[in-house]
Amino acid sequence: MNSIVIPNKQDVVEARALIEPYIHNTPVMSSSSINEIYGVELYLKCENFQKMGAFKMRGAAHAILKLSDEARAKGVTTHSSGNFAQALSLAAKSLGVKATIIMPTSAPKIKKNAVLGYGATVIDCAPTLQAREEAADKFVKETGATFIHPSNDMNVILGNSSAALELIDKMPDLDAVFAPIGGGGLIAGTCLACHYFGEIPVYGGEPSGADDAYHSLKEGRIIPPENPQTIADGLRTQLGDQNFPILQKHLKEILLVEEKEIVEYMRLIWERMKIIIEPSSAVAVAAVLKNKERFKGQKIGVIISGGNVDLNALPF
């Protein structure tokens, strides 16, 4: 069994400095009307305004930047049908590196076109995890490309930590920070930044219909999601051996939210703040606001993971 070395403060600082030229330092937004209604001071770190519309750009850029020149020359690959495919493609393009994305044939055409639009190559595979992994293995063996996992890669986690770090820069006196939990890459990075910069407690928001992280932390081992059912499509994935130890050590608590709450709080943010956040981000907002009595009067940061939603399939 591998023993995981949790990155130190210097690693977090260096990651941020390394990716800074390739990402947006996204704004922190708040709403006086929401704060008044709920009695909690919310500060949203708006990664929906990040390049390609999600925080994933941070981890993707950092993972490529940490590669040797030799490795960069051989290109990078991942299997993803979601935001990370676009993030890796765009980061690779910015850095002059070739990206090849393994995508299930079931992926929406719009996502495939977005990846192609960023200049990446797409390899189609059958829509099963096994087919994806086999296709990726085969491609890596043939080309020497580096496989970069969307969430279970320490350099991806370190890149992601920069979102919370920027938030803390602007709001150094936060009482807590919330982020959604999917594959664990965002929440692990958030835990690192908040641990090293102020020991700010970090809470995860997770859908009741995909509560594998909740049970994993309770039982002390990674439990894969079984047929996860949630509108928060970015959170149907499972934790990995790289991020799990960070969560075990630094995550304060996971708060579960129901599907109707995800839609309710997504709508609240759209209507009151006029910004588009994806369901996964609404999970973190819901985790705070449904527990408003507990966090009454506190200054709470929320990492808004992204804003990539299908306007043809809105829940309202």
Q: Does 56 qualify as catalytic in the annotation?
A: yes
Based on the shown chain and the rule CB under 8 A, indicate whether residue 180 belongs to the binding site for a second copy: no
Of 1-9, 70-78, 221-229, 307-315, the segment contacting a second copy by CB under 8 A is 307-315
Instruction: Choose which of 267, 291, 292, 298 interacts with a second copy (CB under 8 A).
Output: 267
Q: 101-117: buried (b, 16+ CB within 10 Å) or exposed (e) per residue?
A: bbbbeebeeebbebbee
Q: Which residues pair with 41 in a beta bridge?
A: 299
Q: Which residues pair with 147 in a beta bridge?
A: 77
Of 47-55, 123-131, 186-194, 214-222, the segment contacting a second copy by CB under 8 A is 47-55
Based on the shown chain and the rule CB under 8 A, indicate whether residue 311 belongs to the binding site for a second copy: yes
Q: 45, 66, 80, 81: which one is catalytic?
A: 81
Q: What is the DSSP string of 221-262?
A: S----SS---S-GGG-S---TTTHHHHHHHEEEEEEE-HHHH
> Which residues, 13 to 42, sit near a second copy by CB under 8 A?
27
233 vs 268: CA distance, rounded Å: 19
Of 124-132, 163-171, 286-294, 308-316, the segment contacting a second copy by CB under 8 A is 308-316
Instruction: Choose which of 22, 34, 41, 53 interacts with a second copy (CB under 8 A).
Output: 53
What's the chain's Rg over C-alpha atoms? 18
Q: Which residues pair with 140 in a beta bridge?
A: none
Tokens 């049908």 locate to: 81
Based on the shown chain and the rule CB under 8 A, indicate whether residue 276 belongs to the binding site for a second copy: yes
Residue 78 near residue 150 (C-beta atoms within 8 A)? yes
Q: Does 290 qualify as catalytic in the annotation?
A: no
Q: Which two tokens stand for residue 61?
A: 């850029």
Based on the shown chain and the rule CB under 8 A, indicate whether residue 270 belongs to the binding site for a second copy: yes
Instruction: Choose which of 275, 291, 292, 298 interacts with a second copy (CB under 8 A).
Output: 275
3-state secondary structure of 46: strand
Residues interacting with a second copy, by CB under 8 A?
27, 48-49, 53, 267, 270-271, 273-277, 307, 311-312, 314, 316
- Please give the positions annotated as active site: 56, 81
